[in-house]
Amino acid sequence: MTETTLTIRRPDDWHVHLRRDAMLEAVVGYTARQFARAIVMPNLAPPITTIEMARDYRAEIVAAAAAAGHPGFVPLMTAYLIDGIDGAMLARGHAEGVFVAAKLYPAHATTGSAHGVTDVARIYPALEAMERAGMPLCVHGEVTDPAVDVFDREAVFIERVLGQVVRDFPGLKVIFEHITTAEAAAFVESAGPNVAATVTPQHLHINRNAMFAGGLRPHAYCLPVAKREVHRLALRKAATSGSPKFFLGTDTAPHEVHRKEMDCGCAGIFNAPHALESYLAVFEEEGALAHFEGFASEHGPRFYGLPLNEGTVTLERVAQEVPARIEHGAISLVPFHAGQALNWRLV
């Protein structure tokens, strides 16, 4: 059985970095041409910590998407949690339809996390308010303890932080973002229905060897960093299983090429241009095409308590080569799969 086209309900991306200004203008069309909605990460400088900031940022995104030819695109905004943040403000932003969720960045865990949470106890009142308001928590799940090996930071975060948060707030919806380990997949599977995870295309395609293939490969570097092959295989199994706990979140994280290829290169992979085709390749390789629509278009909205999209997108089995570079004015980006062939193409 080799289908030549695949039509699914229009999908959403539950984890994107759209940035701002010229970068936003350069990248938003790639997300908006595939996805009806996207959960937009708040790790800007300065971070999005107030309702007003989120409203302004949302308007910028809507305007940039419209200018790129996608007037219907719906950005779903998130609040950046900081120590002591006011839970009542978060709940109000949620009730007003501005904050769809709030994001926990452990301080210094990743790009744009310098203002993040230094100790999860400092946001416990906010988490209580979120639990009461039915407002989901998105989590970058890594400890920052320098004594913990970088490849173990996600697994240790489950032991030291996330397990406790989930026990202390049994009614809080938690999305364990961009999971990279077998431990994370198992944690999510065994937790209650209020705990889910997003999985990126890169963590389904590459293991940590990709960062060292013949030399240092900055475009395979993101956080959490790719792990051993055994973890990649566990993620593929979880994502393609049909379980409603796992859904699409690309974590597309554009950085200009000169900010990646430098002495201290930025973490983040720009996977938006071919995100759907990249995921679809995995589902096909795993013999799980029947579960692709659930992962891409159904599990996410159901978990967030949002309506499924109307309309469809169609992919056709037509090989395409991913360009080595994507240029927009002065901005130069290297996309995920640069120079490689993909078997499917979004119509």
Q: What is the DSSP string of 49-64?
A: -SHHHHHHHHHHHHHH
Q: How many residues are given for the chain?
A: 347
CA of residue 18 relative to chain centroid, distance: 11
Q: Which of 13, 21, 152, 251 is catalytic?
A: 251
Binding site partner of 241, from Zn ion, ligand NCD, none, Cβ cut-off 5-8 A by kind: none
Quote the least distance from Cβ 30 to ligand NCD, whole Å. Answer: 15
Residues 124-143: x where in contact with ligand NCD by CB under 6 A, - otherwise, as a string: ----------------x---
At 186, give phi and psi (nearest 5°): -65, -40
Considering the rule CB under 6 A, would residue 222 count as an interface residue with ligand NCD? yes
Which one of 104-112, 122-130, 241-249, 316-324 is the stretch in contact with ligand NCD (CB under 6 A)? 104-112
Give whichever of 6 and 275 is closer to Zn ion, judged by the CB atom. Answer: 275
Q: Tell me, yes or no, if 119 is annotated catalytic.
A: no
Pairing of strands 320-321, 341-342: antiparallel
Which positions ≥6 away from 191 have C-beta within 8 Å? Answer: 166, 174
Asked if 122 contacts 81 with a C-beta cutoff of 8 angstroms, the reply is no
Question: Using CB under 6 A, which residues numbered 176 to 195 contact ligand NCD?
Answer: none
Two tokens at 148?
A: 């913990």
Q: How far apart are CA 218 and CA 57, in angstroms?
A: 29
Q: Could you tell me if 251 and 269 are in contact, meaning their C-beta atoms sit under 8 angstroms apart?
A: yes
Considering the complex, what minimum distance in angstroms separates the CB of residue 116 from Zn ion?
Answer: 10
* In the complex, minimum distance from the CB of residue 58 to Zn ion, in angstroms, rounded to a whole number: 18
Residue 98's beta-bridge partner residues?
A: none
Q: Is 59 exposed, middle or buried (0-12, 13-18, 19+ CB in 10 A)?
A: exposed
Candidate list 6, 91, 253, 280; residue touching ligand NCD; CB under 6 A: 253
Spell out, one character per residue from 3 to 42, where the chain touches ligand NCD: x when CB under 6 A holds, - when not. --------------x-------------------------
Contact status: 111 vs ligand NCD (CB under 6 A): yes
**Contact call for residue 110 and ligand NCD (CB under 6 A):** yes
The yes or no reply on residue 144 touching ligand NCD (CB under 6 A) is no
- CA distances (Å), 169 to each of 42, 95, 133, in order? 23, 20, 12
Q: To the nearest whole angstrom, how small is the minimum distance from the Cβ of residue 68 to ligand NCD?
A: 20
Q: Under the rule (CB under 6 A), what is the footprint of ligand NCD?
A: 17, 43, 110-112, 140, 222-223, 251, 253, 267-268
Catalytic residue ranges = 251
